[in-house]
Amino acid sequence: MDIVKLPVVRNGQLYQFEPYLGLLLVRTCDGALSRADGLPSQVKRTLLMNDNPYRLQLANNYTIPDVNRRRWLKLYTRMLVRVCRASFGLARFIASFRLPVFNNATEAILFFRQMLPGQMQQNLCFPRSLFAAATSKNFRTGGVLFIGVFLPSRSMHAWVIEDAIQPDPYDNMWINFQPVAACYFSQRT
Amino acid sequence: MDVIWPLLEQGAWKLIIPEAHEHNTMKGILNRTAYLPVIPNILPVYPGMEWCNSEGTLKDPHFKPERREASFQQVLVAAASLFAQFGNRHIGVQLSGGLDSSIVIALLRHLGIRFSLVGMTTARFEFRTERQIQNRLAEWGDDSILLDYEEHLPMSSLVEVPMHQHPDLYSLNYASNKAMARACERLGIDVLFTGNGGDNVFAEAMPTDFAACTLMPQVFVDSWLDDLVYAPSGVQVVPFYANTDMINTIYNLRAGQGVDYTKRWARHIFKDLLPRELVDFTYCADFWGLYIDGLMNAAPTVRCLFQQAYDMTMQPYFSPKAVDELLGQDLLRAEKSTYQRIEAGVSLAVWLSALAKRTIN
């Protein structure tokens, strides 16, 4: 899974995501950035929709997945959560090995939410998004995982946009977060 | 009593209990019954509150809906009847870009009633959908003014807050509302409708048992702002969803529904009047960013206000050490409890500072 940085400049501060440790670095900076330059087309296209959310489509066609159907998927979910807590880079590496078992990211996310229900989901945005990236059949060709910051706070969030759809029906906060990094599967791999 | 100015002039402000104000802030507007007196033996009676003899306390009564036939047509009738109450006066609507005020705007347009629009806008990333709706709806009014929120952030112009009898959190939003009141004046708006209460009537559960209704329309009114900011500009503020007929109609239509935080019911029932974006999508920006920047900008003023409050009261709550502790917290964590304490302290210091203009010699 590749990652591209999407640096943000605000009030003379440059916010830049460190792609191995998963940290947001801040330093003073003059001028503005043109962040669309040199981005992979898949990221560029999806970023444009993220910046113009009314261009997105609605997630209508999905089936509620059966949480009991695969024991190994449950184990994978729990493992991913643990690894995300331990290491950002390792989690991203593990999610690079795709397990495309769900038709789309919505079904993957609903499965993940059923596996670990309740308040704890508030702190699981990154493993949830990685899970969707790894297990959705459509993500490889049409999905981007964004990592964003809600400026000026240090609050961060991860979410997915796949095939012009924000697939998580329960995520009502993604709109506030400005992307600082995008993870995607390069079309050449 | 109608006013407590005489008591304040006699020095009642010296006895304030800051912890009580903090307690009330934490309780929030929906729990005003549990408020403690900030000035000993004095509890403000907000519009709509009632005295409960048996318990010896003030109560916020719940709305008692009437059972009636209801339909979308009756929503239109209720809206037309409410607007008609203001006859030939120049109607304005707060244009926030959110759903609730957009419904008011859409109803006015549908009913063929002329109106103007006034709102706050910002170029911040998180408000990109609100901005789009604001630009779209601005074309629906006869005229409109969109003010830059960045110039009127929360907690700005704190030293300009007028004297008021009791500390109030709305004093922290004085600057933006003052700017809106002035914009209303420029447009000649007499009556300003707001979307206040939409979060309640559209999102709260509406029990089939009407007696179990928990709506409190009296809390939809921001009386501090209405009296001290809009009224001096000749503007009457009307929270659209506090209207009894409107609440009854919506309640009867929604009876039996659970909580609906994304307001899908409202988006559906008004779908033919609203822009498609508001019908299909449920985006809602967070105001935290504005609040954090507002507080960071206001920090030097807040320190001065606390120093003044300390000099006036000698209460440790306002001491330099206390203000260092309050503002020394990690303000970028965006945690509600941190901000509530700060809001309570600042609004109390603002009250004392404003009071000093009149009562302190």
Interface test with B, best of A176, A177, A178, A180 (most B CBs within 10 A): A176
Q: Is B126 on the interface with A (CB under 8 A)?
A: yes
Query: pTM of the full predicted structure?
Result: 0.93
CA angle B203, A54, A147 (to 5 degrees): 90
Residue A189 lies in a domain: no
How many domains does chain A divide into? 1
**Preferred mutation among B102, B122, B124, B126 to probe A, highest tally of A CBs within 10 A:** B126
On whether residue A136 sits in a domain, the answer given is: yes
For residues B151 and A63, the model is more confident at B151
Please tell me if residue B296 touches chain A, with a CB cutoff of 8 Å. yes
Q: Please count the other Cβ atoms lying within 10 Å of the Cβ belonging to residue B349.
A: 29
* Nearest by CB: B289 against A52, A54, A151: A151
What six digits make up the tokens of B57? 């306390």
Residue with tokens 């003010």, as numbered in its chain: B147
Q: Do A176 and B286 touch (CB under 8 A)?
A: yes
Report the pLDDT averaged over residues B49-65: 92
Report yes or no on A131 lying in a domain: yes
Distance from CA of A179 to the nearest CA of B (A): 10
Which residue range(s) make up the domain with A180? Answer: 2-184
Do B333 and A53 make contact, defined as CB atoms within 8 angstroms? no
Interface of B with A in 269-288 (CB under 8 A): 277, 280-286, 288
Whether A15 maps to a domain, the answer reads: yes
B123 contact residues in A (CB cutoff 8 A):
none
Q: Cis before residue A152, ω within 30 degrees of 0? A: yes
**Cβ-based contacts of A49 with chain B (< 8 Å):** none
CB pairs under 8 A between A and B: 57
Report the alpha-carbon distance of residue B300 to residue B312 in Å, rounded.
19
Residue B153 C-alpha, separation from nearest chain A C-alpha, in angstroms: 14
A176–chain B nearest CA distance, Å: 4
pLDDT digits (tens, 9 = 90+) for B306-322: 999 999 999 999 999 99
Nearest by CB to residue A154, choosing from B126, B282, B333, is B333
Strands B191-194 and B236-239, bridge-based pairing: parallel
Tell me which chain A residues have a C-beta less than 8 angstroms from the C-beta of B134.
none
pLDDT at residue B361 is higher than 50:
no
Please give the pLDDT value at position A186. 87
ipTM: 0.91
CA distance B224 to B238: 13
- B338: closest CA of chain A, how far (Å): 13
Evaluate if residue A34 carries a pLDDT over 80: no
* Residue A96 placed within a domain: yes
Q: Which residue on chain B is closest to A156 by alpha carbon?
A: B333
**Per-residue pLDDT averaged across B228-253, rounded?**
98
Pick from B226, B224, B265: which is nearest to B103 by CA?
Answer: B265
- The predicted structure's pLDDT at residue B107: 98
CA distance B171 to B343: 10
Interval B170-229: pLDDT, tens: 999 999 999 999 999 999 999 999 999 999 999 999 999 999 999 999 999 999 999 999
Q: Do B282 and A172 touch (CB under 8 A)?
A: yes
Q: In the structure encoding, which two tokens stand for residue A71, read together?
A: 């024991």
Q: Which residues of B touch A175 (CB under 8 A)?
A: 126, 129, 283-285
The C-alpha atoms of residue B5 and residue B355 are separated, in whole angstroms, by 10
Check A150 against B334: CB less than 8 A apart.
Answer: yes
**What value does the mean pLDDT take over residues B261-279?**
97
Is residue A29 one of the residues assigned to a domain?
yes
Judge whether residue B300 has pLDDT over 90.
yes
B297 touches chain A (CB under 8 A): no
Q: pLDDT at position A61, please?
A: 64
Among B283, B284, B292, B336, the strongest candidate for a mutation testing the A interface, having the largest count of A CBs within 10 A, is B283
CB spacing of A176 vs B129 below 8 angstroms:
no
Verify whether the Cβ–Cβ distance B296 to A153 is below 8 Å.
no
pLDDT over 90 (residue A65): no
The partner residue sitting opposite A155, judged by closest CB among B281, B296, B334, is B334
C-alpha span between A15 and A180 (Å, rounded): 7
Structural contact between residues B199 and B241, judged by C-beta atoms closer than 8 angstroms: no
Q: Mean of the pLDDT values across residues A55-66?
A: 77
Please report whether residue A169 resides in a domain: yes
Using an 8 Å CB-CB cutoff, list chain A residues near B262. Answer: 172
What is the reported pLDDT for A36? 61
In the CATH hierarchy, which fold is given to the domain comprising B72-280? Rossmann fold (3.40.50)
The confidence band for B251, taking pLDDT boundaries of 50, 70 and 90, is very high
Mean pLDDT of B257-267: 96
Q: Which residues of A touch B132 (CB under 8 A)?
A: 54
Is the residue at A178 inside a domain? yes
SS3 letters across chain B: CCCCHHHHHCCHHHHCCHHHHHHHHHHCHHHHHHCCCCECCECCCCCCCEEECCCCEEECCCCCCCCCCCCHHHHHHHHHHHHHCCCCCCEEEECCCCHHHHHHHHHHHHHCCCCEEEEEECCCHHHHHHHHHHHHHHCCCCCEEEEEHHHHCCCCCHHHCCCCCCCCHHHHHHHHHHHHHHHHHHHCCCEEEECCCHHHHHHCCCCCCHHHCCCCHHHHCCHHHHHHHHHHHCCEEEEHHHCHHHHHHHHHHHCCCCCCCCCHHHHHHCCCCCCHHHHHCCCCCCCHHHHHHHHHHHHHHHHHHHHHHHHHHCCHHHCHHHHHHHHCCCHHHCCHHHHHHHHHHHHHHHHHHHHHCCCCC
Of A58, A152, A173, the CB nearest to B289: A152
Is the model's pLDDT at B270 over the cut of 60? yes
**If interface means Cβ-Cβ distance under 8 Å, which residues of chain A face chain B?**
51-54, 56, 58, 150-155, 172-173, 175-178
